[in-house]
């Protein structure tokens, strides 16, 4: 189930499309423009054009572009890929050209660029780690720089993960140029991966002494079939390879390397591969921890000499002892200790501020640098004046700058620590794969002749792996020998062990509970189900929710506004003191009016926190999507999360969604003198070419009559599948029609009274009646039953209690549809609907003000899934439906519709709480720091406390998001056990 789902969860290649991941299509437009005959149209050769479309954020955007293009005359086909921001159009040049198509896309509200179509054009994805970003101002600057590069189709920068995902055209721009663009913005960039659809591996080679040896190894590897690229890194004795897993694999590379050097070279998978993702985070945590400790060591004496020792009589005399004129020992100690804190430990803030100001986008580092510099350099001025004057007794603020930096470093340390926990879901998924595997050697007859324990990363396609009880399955594949039960809960969220026997598929990372299995590996490395789930969750966490635009807009003006308020605060208090606008008794004995004004100005500058605003949305989305993945609900990004929490209407498909999706033939009535076996032979020959669940049920029933697992059916010629109606084919020179009433009416086939009665009887029992005609004469009626999913009725009831309307849309007949709807409690039913009619119904609901979620599993559901605000695909459904959806319910359970909606609501209530806290903190904190309470209460906020509050605000927002990790599905679902419904 999950392997099938993962084959298309936005990730696996579509070899036929070349440029685009498979996308759902709206029903085909007319082959030729209106008024043009088929003879005229067939003389025109169609052309293909590829467009880069910037600005699409969701499936609805893709749908609007696709529809706009298809309205043009001369469009043969249009496919829009929202993931890669591409549109591929097949058109007839006699009727329309590339420029007209481009203009229509731009008229739809998106920026379009024509890309000349050639075989070398493709889109690749690279992931980049970016160090030094502190707030949304930084991430927006980097994102803008990346999107301005020629050849970059799409760029997303995530502040919470400190990563960027860039979709680019490699024959226009290279990933090295992309890295340089990031470096030019002032941040450090490191490549994580490139060519997402290409398998890649790093191998460490020992024994290399000369450059000639490395070149020899490189040439030997490039000669291997399936190797697409070889990069050597002599300084690390490392070789990086890109390859096609169908043709070769890591064991072949190691063997070639070792044989090249006559066993002089030793090769193994580069040891850093497993821990690269977390090593950066751990190093960043260590850096902040070290910086904070050193800062603390130097700051504590500064604090003590400034605020504690002055009250101890014996020590106070020594600290206040004069050295030169009015310069005291305490001032010298504080200056000496505060200087390394300011310029060595605090260097990162100067560096960040310089980069931000150079790019014209001031960030948090600018506020910190200005605030600490004001305190430090005023203190230097005070000390130097005291050393050169015999009557000046100033007050220094060295403790302010030192303590500010210490508290901010503590806050950043706690923030990085907390942010690391937001991606725990990915870390847990990545750790599921076992370290080793048992590789079996088979003879020509399939008998085991040997076994060897190998590193699981060395598994290649078509290897046979032995999985013992209690061990994890090392790779995706299928069972060729043995039977057992496998616990797939860590991948699918399904708690019950799943029985596995010969021919059944297994997923890498799942646990074999009993029995020994021999598994043939089919998907390895980056193609495995686990790798693709990880990539899907990573992409989801990279995508910005629309609500984040609010924070991005504020961040543009936040820092300049704070600097203005800070300066205004200082100026107001300074002028008030100069013109005696307040009593002198308000000024503390240890300072004058200028120093009081300076403290207020510094406090305003350092209490303002743009970080909390920037982290409010992405941290919650990261945790929310991670929690969803752990519960078997894959949410494709912040857009899907945001739309889901607004849903107030759910449209359900029937077959495979409300019902189990495994229909069986329960009754057959022949209206002519035919042998039942011969009748089913003709019907199965026509239906075997169809993917519809009802067709499969008929073929399975026919197999039982033949008592043959793999029968050979008669040849079906001129096969046509008519969506929403049935199939038509020529079998043994007879025209066979298998389908519903509409199909018969369209082909002028009269229905006898017996057939009408049987259809009515089947529909009354919630069964689907299927009519069979041979040579335009009805010869039989089949009744097919598809039982309801155990929880269907309860799920509809719970949705109703959540004030969410439920509607059923199906291609089945009205009688069956109404019977099923009554049974589950759905009041609104649309039956006998074609795929385009399902999509139109969704749009009608949207036009009436509904926020619509569509739940479906079939190819005919994909237009509706795209059209809906949120498309939810059942995990056991068809590939195209899963690709079209915004959310994939991996367990195929209806109750997960409720869980997905509830999780999105909880996530967005957390985002709102984060925003309320972040905005409220700044709205309250800035006036208090500016001295709003000082006239009435004499309360003022020292700068170092303001800095501590600023650091705490970011940490509190991240911790608030982390609370989502403890999400539990609604209690209403606790007593509902799927696959065996038990209500306690």
The tens digit of pLDDT for each residue in 563-580 reads: 899 999 999 999 998 888
Phi, then psi, of 585 in degrees rounded to 5: -65, -20
Q: What is the mean pLDDT of residues 763-788?
A: 86
Give the pLDDT confidence score for residue 14 in this predicted structure. 36
Three-state helix/strand/coil letters over 712-758: CCCCEEEEEEECCCEEEEEECCEEEEEECHHHHHHCCCCCCHHHHHH
Whether pLDDT at 38 is above 70: no
Q: Contact 867/60 with Cβ under 8 angstroms?
A: yes
Residue 4: pLDDT band with limits 50, 70, 90:
very low
Q: What is the mean pLDDT of residues 121-130?
A: 77
Helix residue spans in 543-609 (DSSP H): 548-578, 593-607
Domain 197-269, second-level architecture: 2-Layer Sandwich (3.30)
More confident residue, 361 or 37: 361
Instruction: Indicate if 197-269 has the same CATH topology as 45-113.
Output: yes
More confident residue, 428 or 959: 959
pLDDT digits (tens, 9 = 90+) for 156-192: 888 777 888 888 887 788 888 898 889 888 888 887 7
- Taking phi over 0 as left and psi of -120 to 50 as alpha, with beta for the rest, 520 belongs to beta
Give the pLDDT confidence score for residue 773 in this predicted structure. 93
Q: Which of 612, 586, 607 is nearest to 597 (CA)?
A: 586
Percent of the chain with pLDDT over 90: 10
Percent of the chain with pLDDT over 70: 87
SS3 of the chain: helix, strand, coil, percent, to 5: 50, 20, 30
Domain 662-783, second-level architecture: 3-Layer(aba) Sandwich (3.40)
Q: How far is Cα of residue 908 from the mean position of the Cα atoms in its chain?
A: 17
Q: Which of 605, 568, 239, 611 is nearest to 414 (CA)?
A: 611
Burial (CB count <10 Å: 0-12, 13-18, 19+), residue 210: exposed
Which of 94-98, 491-495, 967-971 shows the lowest per-residue confidence on average (mean pLDDT)?
491-495
- Looking at the domain covering 122-192, what would its CATH class be? alpha beta
Q: Say how far apart CA 547 and CA 617 lie, in whole Å.
A: 8
Secondary structure of residue 604 in the 3-state scheme: helix
Give the pLDDT confidence score for residue 37 in this predicted structure. 45
Secondary structure of residue 947 in the 3-state scheme: helix
pLDDT digits (tens, 9 = 90+) for 609-642: 777 777 788 888 888 888 888 888 888 877 888 8
Diameter of the chain by CA atoms? 126
Give the pLDDT confidence score for residue 885 in this predicted structure. 78
Whether pLDDT at 16 is above 80: no
Q: What rounded mean pLDDT belongs to the chain? A: 80
Which of 26-40, 349-363, 411-425, 594-608 shows the lowest per-residue confidence on average (mean pLDDT)?
26-40
Residue 980: pLDDT band with limits 50, 70, 90:
very low
Domain 45-113, second-level architecture: 2-Layer Sandwich (3.30)
Whether pLDDT at 198 is above 50: yes
Give the pLDDT confidence score for residue 915 in this predicted structure. 87
pLDDT digits (tens, 9 = 90+) for 268-279: 877 654 445 566
pLDDT digits (tens, 9 = 90+) for 286-331: 888 999 999 999 999 988 888 777 777 777 778 888 888 888 888 8
Give the pLDDT confidence score for residue 605 in this predicted structure. 85
Q: Contact 853/869 with Cβ under 8 angstroms?
A: yes
Q: What is the mean pLDDT of residues 67-72?
A: 81
Give the pLDDT confidence score for residue 280 in this predicted structure. 67
Q: What is the mean pLDDT of residues 227-237?
A: 78
Q: Contact 257/220 with Cβ under 8 angstroms?
A: yes
Which of 436-440, 486-490, 653-657 shows the lowest per-residue confidence on average (mean pLDDT)?
486-490
Whether pLDDT at 689 is above 70: yes
Give the pLDDT confidence score for residue 542 in this predicted structure. 67
Q: Say how far apart CA 301 and CA 311 lie, in whole Å.
A: 15
Q: Which of 408, 405, 330 is nearest to 375 (CA)?
A: 405
Give the pLDDT confidence score for residue 575 in this predicted structure. 92
Active-site residue (options: 653, 786, 857, 879): 653
Give the pLDDT confidence score for residue 519 in this predicted structure. 93
Which of 196-205, 454-463, 494-503, 750-759 shows the lowest per-residue confidence on average (mean pLDDT)?
196-205
Give the pLDDT confidence score for residue 271 in this predicted structure. 64
Which of 109-113, 807-811, 923-927 shows the lowest per-residue confidence on average (mean pLDDT)?
109-113
What CATH code is assigned to 445-525?
2.70.150.10
Spatial CB neighbours of 749, under 8 Å, sequence gap ≥ 6: 737, 771, 773, 776, 777, 778
Domain ranges of the chain: 45-113, 122-192, 197-269, 277-427, 445-525, 544-617+905-964, 632-657+789-889, 662-783
Residue 979: pLDDT band with limits 50, 70, 90:
very low
Q: Say how far apart CA 861 and CA 814 lie, in whole Å.
A: 18
Whether pLDDT at 231 is above 50: yes
pLDDT digits (tens, 9 = 90+) for 904-927: 999 999 988 988 888 888 888 889
Give yes or no: 653 in active site. Answer: yes
pLDDT digits (tens, 9 = 90+) for 368-423: 888 888 889 988 988 898 888 877 777 787 888 888 888 888 878 887 777 666 66
Q: Say how far apart CA 893 and CA 795 lie, in whole Å.
A: 10
Give the pLDDT confidence score for residue 3 in this predicted structure. 39
pLDDT digits (tens, 9 = 90+) for 825-844: 998 888 888 777 888 888 89
Which of 115-129, 452-466, 490-504, 644-658 shows the lowest per-residue confidence on average (mean pLDDT)?
115-129
Q: Contact 396/334 with Cβ under 8 angstroms?
A: yes
Whether pLDDT at 424 is above 70: no
- Yes or no: domain 632-657+789-889 corresponds to CATH 3.10.20.30: no
Q: Give the number of other Cβ atoms within 10 Å of residue 505's Cβ.
A: 18
Residue 982: pLDDT band with limits 50, 70, 90:
very low
Residue 43: pLDDT band with limits 50, 70, 90:
very low
Whether pLDDT at 975 is above 80: no
Give the pLDDT confidence score for residue 278 in this predicted structure. 60
Give the pLDDT confidence score for residue 116 in this predicted structure. 56
Residue 21: pLDDT band with limits 50, 70, 90:
very low
Give the pLDDT confidence score for residue 290 in this predicted structure. 92
Whether pLDDT at 30 is above 50: no
Q: What is the mean pLDDT of residues 111-133?
A: 71
Phi, then psi, of 328 in degrees rounded to 5: -105, 165
Q: Say how far apart CA 475 and CA 434 lie, in whole Å.
A: 9
Q: Give the number of other Cβ atoms within 10 Å of residue 818's Cβ.
A: 18
Q: Contact 110/166 with Cβ under 8 angstroms?
A: no
Spatial CB neighbours of 424, under 8 Å, sequence gap ≥ 6: 626, 965
Whether pLDDT at 730 is above 70: yes
Q: Which of 366, 303, 318 is nearest to 135 (CA)?
A: 366
């Amino acid at each position: 189930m999950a392997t099938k789902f993962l084959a298309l969860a936005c990730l696996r290649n579509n070899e036929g499309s070349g440029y685009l991941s498979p996308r759902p299509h709206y029903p085909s437009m007319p082959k030729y423009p209106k008024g043009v005959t088929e003879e005229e149209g067939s003389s025109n050769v169609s052309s293909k054009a590829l467009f880069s479309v910037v600005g699409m954020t969701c499936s609805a955007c893709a749908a609007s572009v696709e529809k706009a293009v298809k309205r043009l005359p001369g469009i043969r086909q249009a496919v829009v890929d929202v993931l890669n921001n591409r549109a591929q159009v097949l058109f007839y040049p006699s009727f329309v050209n590339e420029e007209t198509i481009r203009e229509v896309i731009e008229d739809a509200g998106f920026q379009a660029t024509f890309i000349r179509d050639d075989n070398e054009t493709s889109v690749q994805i690279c992931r980049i780690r970016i160090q030094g970003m502190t707030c949304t101002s930084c991430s927006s600057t980097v994102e803008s720089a990346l999107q301005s590069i020629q050849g970059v189709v799409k760029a997303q920068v995530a502040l919470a993960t400190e990563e960027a995902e860039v979709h680019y055209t490699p024959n226009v721009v290279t990933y090295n140029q992309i890295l340089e663009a990031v470096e030019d913005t002032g941040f450090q960039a490191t490549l994580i991966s490139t060519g997402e659809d290409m398998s890649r591996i790093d191998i460490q080679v020992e024994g290399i002494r000369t450059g000639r040896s490395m070149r020899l190894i490189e040439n030997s590897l490039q000669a291997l079939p399936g190797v697409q690229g070889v990069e050597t890194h002599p300084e690390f004795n490392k070789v990086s390879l890109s390859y096609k897993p169908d043709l070769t694999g890591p064991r072949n590379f190691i063997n070639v390397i070792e044989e090249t050097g006559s066993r002089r070279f030793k090769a193994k998978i580069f040891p850093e591969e497993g821990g690269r993702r977390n090593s950066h985070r751990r190093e960043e945590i260590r850096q902040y921890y070290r910086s904070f400790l050193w800062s603390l060591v130097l700051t504590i004496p500064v604090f003590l000499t400034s605020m504690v020792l002055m009250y101890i009589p014996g020590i106070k005399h020594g600290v206040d002892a004069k050295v030169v004129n009015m310069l005291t020992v305490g001032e010298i100690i504080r200056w000496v200790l505060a200087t390394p804190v300011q310029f060595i430990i605090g260097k990162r803030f100067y560096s960040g501020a310089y980069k931000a100001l150079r790019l014209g986008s001031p960030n948090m580092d600018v506020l910190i640098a200005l605030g600490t510099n004001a305190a430090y350099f005023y203190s230097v001025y005070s000390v130097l004046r005291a050393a050169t004057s015999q009557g000046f007794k100033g007050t220094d603020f060295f403790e302010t700058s030192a303590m500010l930096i210490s508290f901010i470093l503590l806050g950043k340390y706690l923030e990085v620590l907390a942010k690391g926990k937001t991606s725990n879901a990915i870390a847990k998924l990545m750790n599921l794969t076992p370290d080793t595997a048992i590789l079996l050697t088979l003879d020509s007859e399939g008998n085991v002749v040997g076994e060897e324990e190998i590193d699981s990363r060395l598994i290649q396609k078509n290897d046979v792996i032995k999985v013992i009880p209690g061990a994890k399955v090392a790779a995706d594949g299928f069972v060729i020998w043995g039977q057992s039960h496998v616990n797939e809960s860590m991948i699918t969220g399904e708690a019950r062990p799943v029985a596995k026997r010969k021919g059944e598929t297994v997923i890498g990372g799942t646990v074999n509970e009993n029995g020994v299995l021999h598994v043939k590996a089919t998907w390895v490395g980056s193609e495995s189900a686990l790798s693709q789930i990880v990539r899907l969750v990573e992409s989801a966490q990279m995508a910005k929710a629309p609500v984040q635009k609010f924070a991005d807009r504020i961040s543009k003006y936040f820092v300049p506004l704070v600097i203005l308020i800070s300066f205004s605060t200082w100026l107001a208090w300074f002028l008030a003191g100069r013109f005696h606008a307040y009593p002198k008794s308000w000024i503390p004995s240890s300072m004058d009016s200028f120093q009081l004004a300076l403290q207020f100005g510094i406090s305003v500058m350092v209490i303002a926190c743009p970080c909390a605003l920037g982290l409010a949305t992405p941290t919650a989305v990261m945790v929310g999507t991670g929690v969803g993945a752990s519960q078997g609900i894959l949410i494709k990004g912040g857009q899907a999360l945001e739309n889901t929490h607004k849903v107030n209407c759910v449209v359900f498909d029937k077959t495979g969604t409300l019902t189990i999706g495994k229909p069986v033939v329960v009754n057959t009535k022949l209206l002519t003198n035919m042998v039942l076996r011969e009748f089913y032979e003709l019907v199965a020959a026509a239906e075997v070419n169809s993917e519809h669940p009802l067709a499969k049920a008929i073929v399975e029933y026919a197999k039982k009559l033949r008592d043959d697992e793999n029968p050979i059916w008669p040849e079906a010629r001129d096969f046509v599948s008519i969506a929403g109606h049935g199939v038509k084919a020529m079998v043994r020179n007879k025209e066979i029609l298998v389908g519903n009433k509409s199909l018969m009416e369209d082909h002028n086939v009269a229905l006898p009274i017996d057939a009408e009665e049987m259809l009515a009887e089947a529909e009354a029992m919630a069964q689907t009646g299927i009519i069979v005609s041979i040579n335009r004469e009805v010869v039989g009626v089949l009744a097919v039953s598809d039982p309801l999913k155990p929880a269907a009725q309860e799920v509809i009831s719970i949705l109703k209690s959540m004030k969410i309307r439920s509607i059923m849309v199906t291609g089945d007949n009205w009688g069956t549809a109404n019977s099923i709807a009554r049974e589950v409690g759905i009041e609104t039913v649309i039956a006998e609907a074609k795929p385009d009619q399902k999509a139109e119904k969704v749009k009608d609901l949207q036009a009436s003000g509904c926020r619509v979620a569509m739940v479906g599993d079939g190819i005919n559901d994909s237009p509706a899934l795209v059209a809906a605000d949120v498309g939810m695909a059942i995990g056991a459904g068809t590939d195209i439906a899963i690709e079209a959806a915004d959310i994939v319910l991996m367990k195929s359970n209806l109750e997960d519709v409720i869980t997905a909606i509830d999780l999105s609501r909880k996530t967005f209530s957390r985002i709102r709480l984060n925003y309320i806290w972040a905005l409220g903190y700044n709205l309250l904190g800035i006036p208090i720091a500016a001295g709003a309470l000082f006239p009435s209460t004499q309360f003022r906020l020292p700068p170092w406390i303001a800095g501590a509050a600023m650091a705490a605000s970011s940490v509190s927002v991240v911790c608030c998001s982390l609370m989502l990790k403890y999400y539990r599905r609604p209690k209403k679902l606790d007593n509902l056990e799927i696959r065996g419904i038990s209500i306690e």
